[in-house]
Amino acid sequence: MAKSTTTFTCNACGASHTKWSGRCDACGEWNSITEDTPLSAGPGAKSIGSKRGNALHLTDLSTQEAEPPRTQSGLAELDRVLGGGLVPASAILVGGDPGIGKSTLLLQAAAKFAQSGLKTLYVTGEEAPAQVRMRAQRLGLGDAPVKLAAATALRDILTTMDTEKPQLVIIDSIQTMWVDTVESAPGSVSQVRAAAHELTSFAKRKGVSVILVGHVTKDGQIAGPRVVEHMVDTVLYFEGERGHQFRILRSVKNRFGPADEIGVFEMTGAGLAEVANPSALFLSGRGDPSPGSVVFAGVEGTRPVLVEMQALVAPSPHSQARRAVVGWDSARLAMVLAVLEARCGIPFTGLDVYLNVAGGLKISEPAADFAVAAALLSAREDAALPAETVIFGEISLSGALRPVGQTENRLKEAQKLGFTSAISPSGGKSPGVAGITLNQFSDLTGFVGDTFGAG
Ligand code: TYD
Ligand code: MG
């Protein structure tokens, strides 16, 4: 008889450990390791031994499989992120910070899917039914044919799903669900994992789509959605800055569509409103051209998005100058600063550098390098870039500018929003777009000399 093995799992990265420690070796997170009792049917429960199983039924790769029929919610931003609508029997995880608007989004989605004909069940483990009903009324969705239940016991939920036979079930949230075969508190890694496993396998078996809500949190007591990511077909993150009204729904994994697609919403008094033209919104607060501000022509998924990048460079009162970034990668900022110093001879030593992506968007594209460099130079030299100009391009460590993908898409978006010129790397295949004057440079030094004199 093997002795009962207790393992420990990191809530942040999901790594397994044999003993508890204050810091996870795998990801470096502090206080994120919790005790984990193995799933009874999980790996490692019992070795298979010599008892024979059933032979599998094998099929060919060439078997014709029809494109899955999709149901559109009518919320175009949501449908696009799902890859064109909801696929039957799919499991979707929607993660995000507490209070960002997940319940609001999913209640609106539930109502829309129900109105387009899906039998929809909304299970809340966090709120009373009256609260959800009140919110639905405030959102003008009081008449939507959504069935509502407040429950946390997963066994009851699965039984209800079996008898009611809904086509879509929304579980808000996976951290509140409780599986009675697992001996640990709701919200622990083993509970979250077991609940997600039960729900996703039920979804596959019975042809029900499930949407799981997962809170992302740094608090080690509650398991993050990371431990669930591999079990579901689609992982969406709902992000945004608390102080801003914009919310971005981003697909980071999708078995039924492109990843990295974004949907843009605006949080209003009457719920989430779709933003069909995010560039116009992100640029709406922009005044006259000013030093340190440039417009980056970015692409998120298949969609061009123009955003304002703001930089501030000021003499530092401290012995170690500050580097602060909102909406971009700080390692990438360090790289751009190093290239400016080493290749263009423009030092930022003794200067505090602040960089902000306006509107609360998070940018991860390398194409933003050039825009960041231009914003930093413009702030440092206290000289504004020409008006109505967008900028994009990747910077290599040698200081060369590399062309980026979807140039035409970026230029068309700029043209649509009234921009008249673009600064970009030379080379690349794009023919350009009518109405936009291209100003191309092969390296950063050339751009610096041309735009800011000798630097
Ligand atoms: P909620 O959907 O409860 O967030 P989550 O489920 O991610 O924790 O949204 C909470 C916030 O949204 C709350 O601070 C209030 C705001 N809100 C609005 O601004 N307008 C609305 O119509 C609704 C329903 C919520
Ligand atoms: Mg909620």
Tell me, yes or no, whether 360 lies in a domain: yes
Same domain, 242 and 376: no
Tell me, yes or no, whether 49 lies in a domain: no
Ligand index nearest the alpha carbon of residue 127: 2
Query: Cα of 235 to ligand 2 centre, how many Å?
Result: 17
Residue nearest to atom 22 of ligand 1 (CA): 271
For residue 96, give the ligand 1 atom closest to its CA.
Answer: 7
Q: Is the CB of 395 under 6 A from ligand 1?
A: no
What angle do helix axes 330-344 and 368-381 make, rounded to 10 degrees? 60
**pLDDT tens per residue across span 358-398:** 887 889 899 999 999 999 999 999 999 988 999 999 999 99
Query: Cα of 96 to ligand 1 centre, how many Å?
Result: 12
Same domain, 285 and 268: no
Q: Structural domain tally of the chain?
A: 3
The confidence score (pLDDT) of residue 33 equals 83
CATH number, domain with residue 327: 3.30.230.10
Same domain, 419 and 301: yes
Same domain, 15 and 97: no
pTM greater than the 0.85 cutoff = no
> d(Cα 196, Cα 190) in Å, to the nearest integer?
10
> d(Cα 246, Cα 275) in Å, to the nearest integer?
9
Ligand index nearest the alpha carbon of residue 271: 1
Residue nearest to atom 14 of ligand 1 (CA): 99
Task: Give, as one character, the DSSP assignment of residue 37.
Answer: P
Residue nearest to atom 18 of ligand 1 (CA): 269
The confidence score (pLDDT) of residue 13 equals 75
For residue 105, give the ligand 1 atom closest to its CA.
Answer: 2
For residue 213, give the ligand 1 atom closest to its CA.
Answer: 6
Query: Cα of 248 to ligand 2 centre, how many Å?
Result: 16
Parent domain of 410: 281-452
The confidence score (pLDDT) of residue 455 equals 43
Of 276, 304, 322, the last residue of a domain is: 276
The confidence score (pLDDT) of residue 14 equals 77
In the predicted model, residues of the chain with pLDDT beneath 50 are 1, 41-44, 220-221, 454-455
Tell me, yes or no, whether 48 lies in a domain: no
The confidence score (pLDDT) of residue 48 equals 65
Same domain, 251 and 302: no
Same domain, 244 and 319: no
> d(Cα 32, Cα 61) in Å, to the nearest integer?
42
The confidence score (pLDDT) of residue 302 equals 80
Q: Taking Cα atoms as reference points, which of 151, 211, 155 lies closest to residue 176?
A: 151
Q: Is the CB of 266 under 6 A from ligand 1?
A: no
Choice from 267, 268, 272, 274 to test ligand 1 binding pocket (greatest atom count within 8 A of CB): 267
Of 242, 276, 310, the last residue of a domain is: 276
Rounded to an integer, what is the distance from CA 96 to the centroid of its chain?
A: 8
> d(Cα 4, Cα 236) in Å, to the nearest integer?
36
Same domain, 194 and 291: no
Ligand index nearest the alpha carbon of residue 137: 1
- State the greatest distance between any 2 C-alpha atoms of the chain, in Å, as a whole number: 79
The confidence score (pLDDT) of residue 3 equals 53
Ligand index nearest the alpha carbon of residue 238: 1
Query: Cα of 190 to ligand 1 centre, how many Å?
Result: 28
Tell me, yes or no, whether 66 lies in a domain: no
C-beta neighbour count of 22 within 10 angstroms: 9
Residue nearest to atom 9 of ligand 1 (CA): 101
Residue nearest to atom 13 of ligand 1 (CA): 99
For residue 126, give the ligand 1 atom closest to its CA.
Answer: 6
Residue that the structure tokens 């450990």 belong to: 17
Q: What does the DSSP assignment read for 376-416?
A: HHHHHHT-PPPTTEEE--EE-TTSBEE--S-HHHHHHHHHH
CATH number, domain with residue 225: 3.40.50.300
Query: Cα of 234 to ligand 2 centre, how many Å?
Result: 19
Same domain, 266 and 295: no
Q: Is the CB of 217 under 6 A from ligand 1?
A: no
For residue 139, give the ligand 1 atom closest to its CA.
Answer: 22
For residue 106, give the ligand 1 atom closest to its CA.
Answer: 2
Same domain, 181 and 91: yes
**pLDDT tens per residue across span 396-421:** 999 999 999 889 989 999 998 899 99
Q: Compute the 3-state secondary structure of the chain and give helix, strand, coil in percent, each to the nearest 5.
A: 25, 25, 45
Same domain, 212 and 293: no
Tokens of 257: 């569509």
Same domain, 233 and 96: yes
The confidence score (pLDDT) of residue 259 equals 82
Tell me, yes or no, whether 57 lies in a domain: no
Query: Cα of 290 to ligand 2 centre, how many Å?
Result: 40
Tell me, yes or no, whether 65 lies in a domain: no
Choice from 93, 97, 104 to test ligand 1 binding pocket (greatest atom count within 8 A of CB): 104
> d(Cα 367, Cα 376) in Å, to the nearest integer?
15
Ligand index nearest the alpha carbon of residue 102: 1
Q: Is the CB of 175 under 6 A from ligand 1?
A: no
Of 253, 276, 299, the last residue of a domain is: 276
C-beta neighbour count of 144 within 10 angstroms: 18
Q: Is the CB of 135 under 6 A from ligand 1?
A: yes
Tell me, yes or no, whether 395 lies in a domain: yes
The confidence score (pLDDT) of residue 221 equals 45
Same domain, 360 and 266: no
Q: Is the CB of 101 under 6 A from ligand 1?
A: yes
Tell me, yes or no, whether 61 lies in a domain: no
